[in-house]
Amino acid sequence: MSKKAVVAMSGGVDSSVAAALLVEQGYDVTGVMLKLWRGEAENNNSGCCNLGAAEDARRVADVLGIPFYVFNFAEDFERSVIADFHATYAAGRTPNPCVRCNQWIKFETLLDRARQLGADLLATGHYARVIKDGDRYALKRGVDKSKDQSYVLWMLTQDELAHVAFPVGDQVKSRTRALAAQLGLRTAAKPDSQEICFVRNGDVGAYLDQHVGRKPGEIVDADGTVLGRHDGIGRFTIGQRKGLGISVGMPRFVSHIDAVGGRVTVGSRADLAVAAFSAEELHLVDADLPPGSGIFIQHRAHGEVNPGEVVARGRDRIEIEFDTSVEAVAPGQSAAFYSTDDPDLLLGGGIISETASAVRTRGVVAS
């Protein structure tokens, strides 16, 4: 009897080819689309999670000869991912809804549903690799480093890794598109999704004004001098240069956001330098990371990787110092940790909670 696989099909080329590869490998494949919206989809330009994407996925399933279903997870999505997005911005932090969607929807709710249906695997179109080593599983970067998505998968557990697959992770994106074209899949040349699926037209500021509300406040420099006013902290993120609404004759960047006081602090590029940070919701894929451990840290999707050292660790919290200061590390974003022995090996990650400026004493983590 063939093994069963459920493939989360977003309507894009990657998940389309993931389904095709599993069919080729002899799996009994079922495609599913997650309906994450109520009524009309908010952002039909996002490339996924809308009615057009559902039709693309259904057509691909027809070509592959596999059943296709739409699962309505709108209530779960609103209660978890969207609620977290609102709360994180209201707290002056920068959320990553794709991380939360993976954590709470795809690899929790959907994986549970797939296993209830008797599936051996849940597959997605992520560019990452699951490697079995004895009775343990390692999670590694995808072969195509320019498309690697292991950064948004740091929360996966050993039990989850035993039941997930990333079929396109072993190939480069150009190969994925070539395979889709060979198979006659309508998603072969479809652009990658770029925007947040629930934010209409990608306008985060307007979305936050409507759903979180405005909280006007001051824009100040590092000394507290008032430079201007703003309509709401939701329109700002650490490291932002454009759209500040002030003119001081020189470039200024957002260096701190005070959610309680509604105050946005701006400074020079040097003020963005961070020497250390703490992260909460710590999860380790298959590692220990005691104090003194050297690691590579990635704090943005497709961002640079920087060396650092673990200085303190608790059950759910970790403190890390960078070897050399790093710019614009934003609370609310994910920090993913990679091995210095094997830079492709994901060790774990967490949500950045506090940062320490490089101009302050190293080792003291402060917001």
As given in the structure block, the two tokens for residue 41 are: 């989809």
- Residue 182 CB burial class (10 angstroms; 0-12, 13-18, ≥19): exposed
What distance in Å separates the CA atoms of residue 236 and residue 250, rounded to the nearest whole number? 18
Q: How many CB atoms lie within 10 A of CB 177?
A: 18
As given in the structure block, the two tokens for residue 322 are: 């960078």
Q: Is 98 considered catalytic here? A: no
Torsion of CA 361, 365, 366, 367, to 10 degrees: 130
DSSP H or E segment with residue 282: strand 273-284
User: What is the DSSP code (8-state) at residue 190?
Assistant: P
- List the strands of the sheet with 4-8, edge to edge: 68-72, 28-35, 4-8, 121-123, 164-165
> How many Cα atoms occupy the beta-carbon half-sphere of 344 within 13 Å?
17
The pairing of strands 4-8 and 28-35 is: parallel
Question: What's the 3-state SS for 194-213?
Answer: CCCCCCHHHCHHHHHHHHCC
What distance in Å separates the CA atoms of residue 329 and residue 303, rounded to the nearest whole number? 11
As given in the structure block, the two tokens for residue 247 are: 């003119």
* Residues whose CB falls within 8 Å of the CB of residue 359, separated by 6 or more in sequence, listed in order: 270, 271, 273
Q: Is 49 considered catalytic here? A: no
What distance in Å separates the CA atoms of residue 280 and residue 331, rounded to the nearest whole number? 10
As given in the structure block, the two tokens for residue 311 are: 């200085």
Torsion of CA 89, 93, 98, 99, to 10 degrees: -140
Query: Catalytic positions, please?
Result: 101, 197
